[in-house]
């Protein structure tokens, strides 16, 4: 496959589907979006196909110029068989053979992958992990998940669920996680869990700095916490320190387990900046061997909020790479 061959990407989220057209060099030629995806797949999938065709046409290309498409989707899903089984962010999409539907509609080969894996692939092909043979990408937002590259290949695991690092138990018997376990990494460091914890702990403290910044207890979130930490509010600083130590504990364990060249961190790292990165980098040496840290860079995402535009394209590229139809640029 030539590097200027076009690829289509679909990034399926809870409220929208982002469409993108790009090439193997990382040039995004066109983009579009479908809003209000809380409908049936019978309504949405024809729109995905028609909008993709229109996007290609309006870019001045034809479908013959497109080599493949990729779909980035949240789980749970049967990624190997291209089926959205029962995604937690859209209850109406049950057992939808999304890859085959889109492939039939576009007349193209297609690939279907977990959204965290697609983010890792996007950073690997186009971003902060480019050139690495061993890397980890951590989604750090509402929840925590990971994509893992080992020896130059995406790690998917026996049943396609590799990378659920947010459910590594850090504190046995700790906070109950939505997954059913207790003490999970995500239950302490995921944005949704942190917000829920603050609402519990500040329920009787309506004048707390975090609550004031949020406007109300119900609106407490990571943005309000960050603002309170920056003014050195005592409660916020204590909570932040605990969160950053637990992030370092988890990431240190991943580094010791996988010995990566790169650990790329998602939303919180690039949106919050040094307030996030400085304590994390300070604490990680307590949890990882120096030999591992000496060969590993821990960095924020390079693609930042644009990562969704690259996610589906990266899934397509990786599928072609694994078939031997695309060589990694090095």
**What is the per-residue pLDDT across 292-316, written as a single tens digit (0 to 9) for each?**
999 999 999 999 999 999 999 999 9
* pLDDT for 90 beyond 70: no
Output 55 or 16, whichever has higher pLDDT: 55
**Does 247 fall in a domain?**
yes
Which band of pLDDT confidence, cut at 50, 70 and 90, is reported for residue 246? very high
**Does 327 fall in a domain?**
no
CATH (domain of 148) = 3.30.420.40
pTM: 0.95
Q: Are residues 287 and 148 in the same domain?
A: yes
Q: Are residues 64 and 112 in the same domain?
A: yes
* pLDDT for 273 beyond 70: yes
**Does 329 fall in a domain?**
no
Strands of 239-295 (E only): list them.
Answer: 262-265
Number of domains in the chain: 2
Domain that holds residue 105: 6-122+305-322
Angle between helix 98-106 and 41-58 (nearest 10): 40
Which band of pLDDT confidence, cut at 50, 70 and 90, is reported for residue 86? confident
Q: Are residues 106 and 174 in the same domain?
A: no
**Does 128 fall in a domain?**
no
Q: Are residues 78 and 90 in the same domain?
A: yes
The answer to whether 90 touches 37, Cβ cutoff 8 Å, is yes
Mean pLDDT of the residues in the chain = 94
pLDDT at 35: 87
* 136: DSSP letter: E
Bridge pairing between strands 135-140 and 28-35: unpaired
Q: Are residues 148 and 285 in the same domain?
A: yes
**What is the per-residue pLDDT across 163-209, written as a single tens digit (0 to 9) for each?**
999 999 999 999 999 889 999 999 999 999 999 999 999 999 999 99
* Cα first-last separation, the chain: 16
Q: Are residues 90 and 155 in the same domain?
A: no
Classify residue 305 by burial, with Cβ atoms within 10 Å: 0-12, 13-18, 19+: exposed
Q: Are residues 211 and 67 in the same domain?
A: no
Q: Are residues 167 and 277 in the same domain?
A: yes
Q: Are residues 166 and 253 in the same domain?
A: yes
pLDDT at 110: 97
Strands of 215-303 (E only): list them.
Answer: 262-265, 297-300
Question: Using CA of residue 183, residue 188, residue 190, residue 193, what is the dihedral sign?
Answer: positive
Q: Are residues 83 and 225 in the same domain?
A: no
Q: Are residues 105 and 165 in the same domain?
A: no
- In b/e form, how buried is each residue of 83-105, taking b as 16+ CB within 10 angstroms? bbeebeebeebeebbbbebbbeb
* pLDDT for 143 beyond 70: yes
Q: Are residues 166 and 281 in the same domain?
A: yes
In 3D space, the residue among 182, 179, 190, 181 whose CA is nearest the CA of residue 246 turns out to be: 190
The answer to whether 161 touches 75, Cβ cutoff 8 Å, is yes
pLDDT at 285: 98
Place of tokens 């920056």: 230
**Does 328 fall in a domain?**
no
**Does 1 fall in a domain?**
no
């Amino acid at each position: 496959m030539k590097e200027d061959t076009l690829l289509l990407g679909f990034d399926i989220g809870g409220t929208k589907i982002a469409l993108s057209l790009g090439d193997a060099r990382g040039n995004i030629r066109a983009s579009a979006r479908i809003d209000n995806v809380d409908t049936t797949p019978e309504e949405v999938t024809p729109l995905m196909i028609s909008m993709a065709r229109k996007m290609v046409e309006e870019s001045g290309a034809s479908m013959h110029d497109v080599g493949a498409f990729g779909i980035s989707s949240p789980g749970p899903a049967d990624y190997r068989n291209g089926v959205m089984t029962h995604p937690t962010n859209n209850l109406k999409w049950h057992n939808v053979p999304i890859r085959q539907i889109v492939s039939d509609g576009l007349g193209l080969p297609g690939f279907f992958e977990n959204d965290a894996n697609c983010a890792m692939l996007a950073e690997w092909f186009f971003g902060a992990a480019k050139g690495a043979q061993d890397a980890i990408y951590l989604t750090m937002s509402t929840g925590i998940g990971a994509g893992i590259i080992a020896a130059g290949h995406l790690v998917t695991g026996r049943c396609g669920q590799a990378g659920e690092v947010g459910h590594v138990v850090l504190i046995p018997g700790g906070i109950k996680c939505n997954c059913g376990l207790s003490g999970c990494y995500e239950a302490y460091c995921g944005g949704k869990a942190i917000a829920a914890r603050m609402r519990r702990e500040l329920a009787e403290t309506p004048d707390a700095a975090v609550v004031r910044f949020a406007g109300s207890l119900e609106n407490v979130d990571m943005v309000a916490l960050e603002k309170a930490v920056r003014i050195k509010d005592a409660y916020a600083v204590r909570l932040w320190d605990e969160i950053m130590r637990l992030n370092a504990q988890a990431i240190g364990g991943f580094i010791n387990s996988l010995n990566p060249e790169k650990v790329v961190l998602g939303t919180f790292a690039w949106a919050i900046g040094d307030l996030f990165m400085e304590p994390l980098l300070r604490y990680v040496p307590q949890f990882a061997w120096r030999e591992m840290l000496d060969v590993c860079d821990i960095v924020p995402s390079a693609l930042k909020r644009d990562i969704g535009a690259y996610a589906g394209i990266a899934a397509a590229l990786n599928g072609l790479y694994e078939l031997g139809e695309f060589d990694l640029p090095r």
